[in-house]
Structure 1
Amino acid sequence: MISYLKGIVAAIQKVTPNRLILTLEVNGIGYDLQIPQRLANQLSDAGEIVQVFTFYQLRDEIPLLYGFSSPAERDLFRHLLSVSGIGASLAIALIDTVELAELVQAIIASNINILIQAPGIGKKTAERICLELKSKLIEWRKSAGFFVATGGPAPGILEEVQMTLFALGYTAQEVSHALHTISEDIGLPKNAYVEDWIKQAIAYLSKSELESYKH
């Protein structure tokens, strides 16, 4: 119905901790769109002109409009909504968990540990998402232009590394970024010891936290 809207950012409101509303002024009309935190982080102060890709939903006879930073993000949202038991809030929570390509890869590879980091997603729900979407996303990923990430630990040790770092309080986004960064910058072999991956990841994350604190 509405593919995208291009207009001026009028306001971004946090209605609840997990619900962000972007008010976008288009030709004198203000549209309220629910958006992921990821998109909100990309937007600057009010007055910025942006293009937002939209998804229209009619729920209980109430029209709802959702906004995304790209067609691929919107289309993945649609795929997630097709899974039984997954509503808009859970779909947006998943999109905010890790980068889009990594979320797609996690579903295809049945990496439950990544999916359960999203608020409200339990193990059974994560397993259902992988079961219902794996084959669909393998085909869709090609047309969407996603490629399999080559950095990070080998699949056989990835789970243990992730679970250790999650237990230390790091988010899925932080862990994913750290593993790929140390893979590229340090050149740690994919089959290095689990302890080596964890040690390097903690060092990188601690350094990042220190730099953020200074700024």
Structure 2
Amino acid sequence: MFSYLKGEAIAIQQNLQGRSFLILEVRDLGYEIQVPGRFAQELTPSIGTVQQIFVHGQQREDGLFLYGFRSGAERDLFRQLISVSGIGSQGAIALLDTLTLPELVQAIVTADHRQLVKAPGVGKKTAERLALELRNKLSQWRSQFTPVDGAPQPSGAVREDLELTLLALGYQETEILQAIATLSQDGLLVQNPNADEWIRQAISLLSQP
């Protein structure tokens, strides 16, 4: 199973169905990787530069198909989505294209069907099935971020924004937990209701070598 491919972004192409494909050259091999349209727009200015693309491969009778994402978290969510009956690869990409990763996770965990049906091809029954089958799986990681021994913690809303944003950026659960524990030692920051400040400091901390 592929984890990621790293190489030069050669081109962004669209097929007749309007699906977006990145041509990524890795060691003289050109890989055709379907990517969400929103991600394709982000990649377009980067044509000619080296990119690391997190990928999922599907082997079918008519060949090997690759799907690419900006982060490991987005790729892993794609895998969760296609595990649900009635959600194929194109339905999963439509969901990721319609909602940001934090919005999509939140919609599934809270069974917000109105958000989920915004994605093309996702009806009410499919949205209900998504929430039913995935809400527990997607909320399990949150249980790893419970306060320990009454230690100071960011407020619930700030914590949720912080966790979802860092998850969307591809950070692992253990890294997020460690960052929250470290930042929570700052008494002034704990009292700060601004999620953006927590996110900024967390990214700065996690970016340190």
Measured against the shorter chain, the TM-score band is 0.5 to 0.7
Q: How does 1:83-122 map to 2 (within 5 A)?
A: 83-122=84-123
Q: Aligned residue for 1:25?
A: 25
Helix, strand or coil for the counterpart of 1:65? strand
| Range with greater deviation from structure 2 (68-77 or 95-104) | 95-104
Task: Quote the RMSD (CA, aligned, Å).
Answer: 2.2
Say if 1:18 and 1:89, in contact at 8 Å, map to a contact too.
no
TM-score, normalised via structure 2 length: 0.66
Runs of 4+ off more than 6 Å? none
Q: Determine the C-alpha separation between the residues in 1 that align with 2:17 and 2:2.
A: 27
Q: Determine the C-alpha separation between the residues in 1 that align with 2:25 and 2:143.
A: 34
- Any gaps of 5 or more consecutive residues in structure 1? 151-183, 185-215
CA shift digits 1:98-147 (9 cap, x unpaired)? 21011101000000011000011111111110001010110145679xx5
Are the structure 2 counterparts of residues 141 and 13 from structure 1 closer, same or farther at C-alpha, using a change threshold of 3 Å? Answer: farther
Shift of 1:85: 0.7
Shift of 1:148: 2.7
Q: Aligned residue for 2:185?
A: none
**Identity, % of aligned pairs?**
51
Q: Determine the C-alpha separation between the residues in 2 that align with 1:12 and 1:103.
A: 25
Say if 1:106 and 1:115, in contact at 8 Å, map to a contact too.
yes
Q: Determine the C-alpha separation between the residues in 2 that align with 1:143 and 1:37.
A: 33
Q: Aligned residue for 1:166?
A: none
Q: Aligned residue for 1:131?
A: 132
Q: Which residue identity is paired with 2:2? A: I
- Any gaps of 5 or more consecutive residues in structure 2? 146-158, 163-193, 195-209
Helix, strand or coil for the counterpart of 2:52? strand
Are the structure 2 counterparts of residues 142 and 73 from structure 1 closer, same or farther at C-alpha, using a change threshold of 3 Å? Answer: farther
Q: Determine the C-alpha separation between the residues in 2 that align with 1:116 and 1:141.
A: 25
